[in-house]
Amino acid sequence: MTLSSIYILLVGFTNCFFFKISWSASDFSLEGDYLLGGLFPLHEIEKETTLFSAETTECFRHISSKSGYGMLQIMRFAVEEINNSTTLLPNVSLGYEIFDYCSNTKNINSVLSFISKNGSVKPKEKLNNYQPKVIALTGPFGSTRTITIAPLLTMDLIPLVNYGAASYALSNKLHYPSFVRTVPSNKDMIEMIIQIIRWFGWNWVAFLGSKDDYSSDGLKLFNEFVKNTGICLAYQEGLSLNANYSLTVKKIDRLNINVIVVFAVAQYASKIIKAAIANNIQDKVWIASHAWALNQQIPREPGIEKIGTVIGITDRLLSFPGFSEFVYKARATTDVGYDVAEGEVKSKTCNQVCDYCSLLTAEEIINENPSFSFGIYAAIYTIAHALHKVLQCDINECQKNKMAKPYMLLGEIKKLDFILNGREVKYDENYDPTISYDSVLWRTDVNPPQFLMVGTYDKHPEITFTMDNSLLPWHNNGSVPFSNCSVECKVGHSRKTEGFHSCCFTCKKCPPNSYVDFSRDPYTCFPCAEGEWSDEGSTACKTRSVVYPQFTEILSIIVMVSAACLIILLIAIFCLFAYNYDTPVVKSAGGSMCFLMLTSLILSSISVFFFFGKPTFVFCLLRNAIFEYFFTVCISCLTVRSFQIISVFKMATQFPKVYSLWVKHNCQWLFIAFVSFIHLISCVIWMTVNPVKAIADSWTFKDQIMLICEMGNTITLTIVMFISWFMGFLCLLFSYMGRDLPKNYNEAKSITFSLILYYLTWIAYFTAYLSVKSKYIVILNAVAQVSSINGILFSYFISKSYIIIFQPQKNTPAYFQTSIQNYTQTISRT
């Protein structure tokens, strides 16, 4: 159906369309150079008639709305101010035509009157040629009513500067290109409601509204914006005028919901509050939307003080200097002689009749709900400033000869930025105003009820939200009411959702090495990173300290200095023995074999230095492999040396042939080479089959990461250790067999001491290694190596070095020969 057909159909539905009436002085009309339209709810319909019934609603037959008449007076006051101004439209007068707009669908006649030209509507007229009756209009009150009439105005781009339609859908300029509003959209109001809910830590709320566009839009936005905020919409309902309000409030009470958002116009909000009072619903928090936040009748309901705390959201309230005087003057000159006989006139005035209006006192009008006063005031001034720009007005006059079309005002409105009663008026790209909200507390404990400002919300120049908690006398002993599905978890506990709503949960303490971060996800215990740790029930992880024996530690320095001194001493003995190589002491100690032993001990000592500093693969490889191999070579030399002494003194006489073969083929060197080769092969296998490597031990201590070296394959390690320990056992055995040999050749005590020290040291180390986990175990390993080397050095080589240096008389062939003769005589006697 084309727009032309729609217009024709609407014309057919009206029964008082374009009936021309003139008023010399009326609240509803005023002559002027440019006419403004106004739509205000002087009456409210309790129940809408069938949508497509072909009749126009006569508003005066329905319930009166005093606040609507107060809105009308604000418009009249603003027009009078502008007409009296010498700076704004200086030589231009504004007039108006106002209609009572009480129906969502059946007051179209008033809009058609506005867009008509000489009593007719021409929908296909070009913009430059078309001049409707009004240059712009303000109203109507309510989103549904506005959405109904907006399409009739968009074709001709007539500015609809609205004071009471908050639906966010109207910000869509593709659908509503000529819609301008002076009140914030539902989007901004919902954002403030959520700010209030989050400020007090509530998450279990109900949302009540009506089935109109205003409430539906608010509910849709609320559901969208509460995502990821932790707020749960526990109950929601769009109510009709004949709904069961008592059942609704009882459901909310049974669900233990203590915060209720009532996003509806006063007509529905009144029914909800009355139902709460009638059903003894107490100690709730009621958040009132802008539409009824400053309603004057609802706070006077008997028993309202018992329902709890009412917090309203309203546009920033401003005073209007001169408005009271204007109303008093208007009341003094109003013709109060309305006669019932005028019923015939009423039927012909197309909703420009108000029976009760003349009965209102000036005080009643002045004290009416001021929620939309500034919106109306700003709407009229917005139109005036835009017209001022279009007519190219200066301080003294406007260019009256310039043609002003409605669509021209739209371009100027977007550019406007002026101060009105101390408040900035400007519009964004969607013709939405700057946001300045107040939150007010209903003081129903005083008479008359008062509205106390307790918070603010601004979005220009930046978003700021404030709430003065000290001004809120909560009904629950002064403490903030509890409206949560579940009690908040203790610190370090994650939530586990129960049921449909994320706000309903049980609490579970996070295990060690995990944490819960409510800003990230309160339902998950996140594991700590590899380099971090935490105790049970933590909210953050701590960085683990990385520990290993460092070169600068006192114990490390002591061990390394000891190893360095040991190497120096071994080198000194090596030189001493080389210098005294042909002496009996050196030859009895093993001769050239001593140098192999000393070299092995020197190389074994070097491995100590690889125990300190940050472990690497090379360090791990060298710290034990070098020692195990060369120390075993040294022990095999001691074993051979012990066996040789026994052979000389005992085996030579009892088994001469065997001894001759041993000496002839240098079997001592063959044995050492064989043992060394076998041990070398075992060490290579140990280092290649599952080789030792540096690892980060993060499981032993919760707050530390120990950098240690794995010992490698257990079997190959056992083989390596077995060869070394078996050589030590043979050495002990042979030295014990030679315990009765000549003193100069008897090494039983020294060898036994050194090997017992060797065994005890390594038994202690492995016991500690298996039972204690610490970085000091690594140092103990180094100490075990130093102790093993010291055992051989001091029990075997130091005693001989002492004789060489301090008892040279004992380092002669004669002394040794005497010792052998004494041993032979002793043997012969036995």
Q: Which residues contact 446 (CB under 8 A, 6 or more apart)?
A: none
Question: Range with the lowest mean pLDDT among 141-155, 332-346, 513-527, 547-561?
Answer: 332-346
Q: What average pLDDT does the segment 60-77 reach?
A: 88
pLDDT (tens digit per residue) in 341-397 = 343 344 444 678 888 888 888 888 888 878 889 999 999 999 999 999 999 998 888
pLDDT value for 445:
85
pLDDT (tens digit per residue) in 424-470 = 899 999 999 988 889 999 998 888 889 999 999 988 778 899 999 88
Measured from the Cβ of residue 392, the count of other Cβ atoms closer than 10 Å reads 11
Give yes or no for residue 247 having a pLDDT over 90.
yes
Give yes or no for residue 103 having a pLDDT over 80.
no
pLDDT value for 697:
82
What one-letter code names the amino acid at 226? V
pLDDT value for 829:
57
Q: What average pLDDT does the segment 306-324 reach?
A: 88
pLDDT value for 2:
38
**Mean of the per-residue pLDDT values of the chain:** 84
Query: Are the beta carbons of 369 and 296 closer than 8 angstroms?
Result: yes
Q: What is the Cα–Cα distance from 436 to 290, expressed in whole angstroms?
A: 12
Q: What is the Cα–Cα distance from 578 to 589, expressed in whole angstroms?
A: 12
Give yes or no for residue 47 having a pLDDT over 70.
no
Q: What average pLDDT does the segment 399-426 reach?
A: 90
Give yes or no for residue 422 having a pLDDT over 70.
yes
- Using pLDDT thresholds of 50, 70 and 90, give the confidence band for residue 340: very low
For residue 163, the 8-state DSSP code is S
With a threshold of 0.75, does the pTM exceed it? no
Q: What is the Cα–Cα distance from 38 to 97, expressed in whole angstroms?
A: 6
Pick 826 or 580 by higher pLDDT.
Answer: 580
Q: What is the Cα–Cα distance from 547 to 171, expressed in whole angstroms?
A: 63
Per mean pLDDT, which of 173-182, 577-586, 633-642, 729-738 is the most reliable? 173-182
Strands 179-181 and 63-64: unpaired
Q: What is the Cα–Cα distance from 18 to 430, expressed in whole angstroms?
A: 33
SS3 content of the chain, % helix, strand, coil (to 5): 45, 15, 35
Q: What average pLDDT does the segment 556-566 reach?
A: 93
Query: Are the beta carbons of 554 and 712 closer than 8 angstroms?
Result: no
Q: Which residues contact 351 (CB under 8 A, 6 or more apart)?
A: 56, 57, 58, 59, 60, 99, 100, 101, 102, 107, 109, 110
pLDDT value for 3:
43
As given in the structure block, the two tokens for residue 524 are 């998950």
pLDDT value for 244:
94
pLDDT (tens digit per residue) in 207-234 = 999 988 889 989 999 999 998 888 999 9
